[in-house]
Amino acid sequence: MPALIVAGAQWGDEGKGKLVDYLARQAHAVARYQGGHNAGHTVVINNEKFILHLIPSGILHEGKLCIIGNGVVIDPACLIEEMDALISRGVNIGENLLISENAHLIMPYHMALEAASESGMGKKAIGTTGRGIGPAYMDKMARSGIRMKDIMSPDIFKERLKAAVEKTNRLLDVLYGAPGFDLESVFEKYSGFARRLKKHVGNAGSVLNKALREGKNVLIEGAQGTLLDIDHGTYPYVTSSNASAGGACTGLGIGPTRISGVMGVIKAYTTRVGGGPFPTELHDELGNCLREKGGEYGATTGRPRRCGWLDIVALDHAVRVNGLSGFALTKLDILDGLDTIKVCTGYRIDGEVTKEFPPDASTLERCEPVYEELEGWKDSTSGKKKLSELPSGARKYIEWIEGRLGIGADMISTGQRREELIIVKENFH
Ligand code: GDP
Ligand code: IMO
Ligand code: MG
């Protein structure tokens, strides 16, 4: 049962794309299980940068089966754009992309609903990526969504779209005074997408289960991160899917007993894009420094990422929620040269110190971080490929994290590029 989940342990952008790209070499298939093109996963190969939004990061390996699972919400226009951009750069998609017929679609009115809702929230806005993710999942749960298989059958599509457009147009008008959508033009546009995508659409769950039964390696790529999980994150400042490992089974149609490991991706410090509490956020020069040195600007929206110290309370929560079997530490090189490094080991709230991550944003907003200070290191970790090449301060930092979280570091990333990686333990053989 060699199914390995790679999930973000923080607020996203931990470097999942880079690690999935590495691990994909040994995988038969790479599958996304949730989220949509709110994700931006960066892979750098020979100084060429690829940013994947919907297509699994395994696509950059020739002949790798890449699956978009039923739990993903797909904007077909963006998917086609992403496919075309990859093809124009010489990536062979061919028969390598399989899209679940049960995946729900992001429709133009989802973007409109999100824009209207966000702009009405003022300071309380979630700070979404504006991709229509939340409203698409709303329609899925309300059973008024449109799935990939629906657009393949014109009659079914027309009937479902008619009901959805009528409902949404009323909502847009009454709630927000916003203009509605024309049924025929949406129908025509999406029918065109259906023709283009048809050959990639199929029963993804069945293909994955067959591969697992045959003992093949399956790599499961999370998007966003645990603290953005709809159930386990800093609600309501979260995304609208189960980004943590639990989402992988429902989002792909495989059983929990198939999962052989869960690797959490941990950035050596913390970042967050959008609104919501962030106890270890740095509002000073050091925060700016991490942003500039780490290139912390959103891979999807280009927004500056908020930066801060590593937060062990939040990571402990991620270890539990995901049942992490190990972790990959990324961007260690960005901490090179610091005299000391702070790490948050508790939260002070109402005069008491807790080590338990609070279940909601309003409590987390009142938490003040309690820090321990660790020694930094002067020598560079950049591009190092062996643990023994790391400065002792950097090794101690890794060991300290391992000790606190009670799990081991399987991989240490020391740069953007594909080969700038230390492998401590192989997860696939
Ligand atoms: P993802 O959404 O989790 O895949 O992460 P993003 O791609 O949004 O953001 C991670 C950024 O850090 C990307 O620009 C990566 O190229 C970069 N990156 C990943 N690992 C490392 C690393 O170890 N060192 C440095 N300097 N950059 C890294
Ligand atoms: P990857 O996969 C970082 C954040 C948004 C916002 C919140 C809700 O690259 O790690 P949404 O558009 O999902 O409804 O926005 O979630 N967010 C991300 N932050 N990385 C991501 O993806 C994100 N996807 C969504 O900024 O705060
Ligand atoms: Mg990202």
Bond preceding residue 304 cis, omega within 30 of 0: no
Name the DSSP letter for residue 417: B
Q: How far is CA 315 from CA 15, 266, 318, 371, in A?
A: 16, 8, 5, 14
**What CATH homologous superfamily does 104-200 map to?**
Adenylosuccinate Synthetase, subunit A, domain 2 (1.10.300.10)
**Is the minimum distance from the CB of 336 to ligand 1 under 6 angstroms?**
no
Task: List the catalytic residue out of 28, 37, 41, 110.
Answer: 41
Residue nearest to atom 20 of ligand 2 (CA): 12
- Told to judge if 150 belongs to the known catalytic residues of this protein, a careful annotator would answer no
| pLDDT of amino acid 427 | 87
Domain ranges of the chain: 3-95+203-423, 104-200
Mutate to test the pocket of ligand 2, among 128, 139, 240, 303 (most ligand atoms within 8 A of CB): 128
pLDDT, block means (10 residues), the chain with 429 residues: 93 98 97 98 96 98 97 98 98 96 98 94 93 98 98 98 98 95 98 98 98 97 98 97 98 97 98 97 97 95 96 98 98 98 97 93 96 98 98 98 98 97 91
Q: Which of 180, 11, 196, 32 is nearest to 107 (CA)?
A: 180
Please identify, in words, the CATH class of the domain defined by 3-95+203-423: alpha beta
| pLDDT of amino acid 1 | 53
CA 232 / ligand 2 centre spacing (Å): 15
**Is the minimum distance from the CB of 58 to ligand 2 under 6 angstroms?**
no
CA 374 / ligand 2 centre spacing (Å): 30
**Is the minimum distance from the CB of 126 to ligand 2 under 6 angstroms?**
yes
Token representation of residue 397: 């930092």
| pLDDT of amino acid 381 | 98
List 140's β-bridge partners, or say none: none
**Is the minimum distance from the CB of 127 to ligand 2 under 6 angstroms?**
yes
CA 388 / ligand 3 centre spacing (Å): 30
CA 378 / ligand 3 centre spacing (Å): 28
Instruction: Tell which phi-psi region holds residue 106, choosing left (phi > 0), alpha (psi between -120 and 50) or beta.
Output: beta
Q: Report the half-sphere exposure of 168 (CA within 13 A, side-chain side).
A: 28
In ligand 1, the atom with minimum distance to the C-alpha of 14 is 3
| Residues with Cβ within 8 Å of residue 287, at least 6 apart in sequence | 281, 306, 307, 308
Rounded distance, CA 5 to CA 31, Å?
9
Q: Which of 427, 22, 29, 21 is nearest to 216 (CA)?
A: 29
**Is the minimum distance from the CB of 267 to ligand 1 under 6 angstroms?**
no
In ligand 2, the atom with minimum distance to the C-alpha of 13 is 10
Q: Which ligand is nearest to the CA of 329?
A: 1
Residue nearest to atom 21 of ligand 2 (CA): 224
CA 416 / ligand 3 centre spacing (Å): 13
Token representation of residue 429: 């053989």
CA 180 / ligand 1 centre spacing (Å): 39
88: exposed, middle or buried (C-beta count within 10 Å: 0-12, 13-18, 19+)? exposed
176: exposed, middle or buried (C-beta count within 10 Å: 0-12, 13-18, 19+)? middle
Q: Which of 226, 241, 204, 247 is nearest to 67 (CA)?
A: 204
**Is the minimum distance from the CB of 106 to ligand 2 under 6 angstroms?**
no
Q: How far is CA 359 from CA 70, 113, 282, 320, in A?
A: 28, 28, 22, 13
Token representation of residue 398: 């890794």
Residue nearest to atom 14 of ligand 1 (CA): 42
CA 12 / ligand 3 centre spacing (Å): 6
Q: Which of 187, 141, 149 is nearest to 165 (CA)?
A: 187
Neighbours of 95 (CB within 10 A): 10
Mutate to test the pocket of ligand 2, among 20, 33, 38 (most ligand atoms within 8 A of CB): 38
Q: Is 271 helix (H, G, I), strand (E, B) or coil?
A: strand
Q: Which ligand is nearest to the CA of 225?
A: 2
Token representation of residue 154: 């014109």
- Told to judge if 13 belongs to the known catalytic residues of this protein, a careful annotator would answer yes
Token representation of residue 410: 């399987």
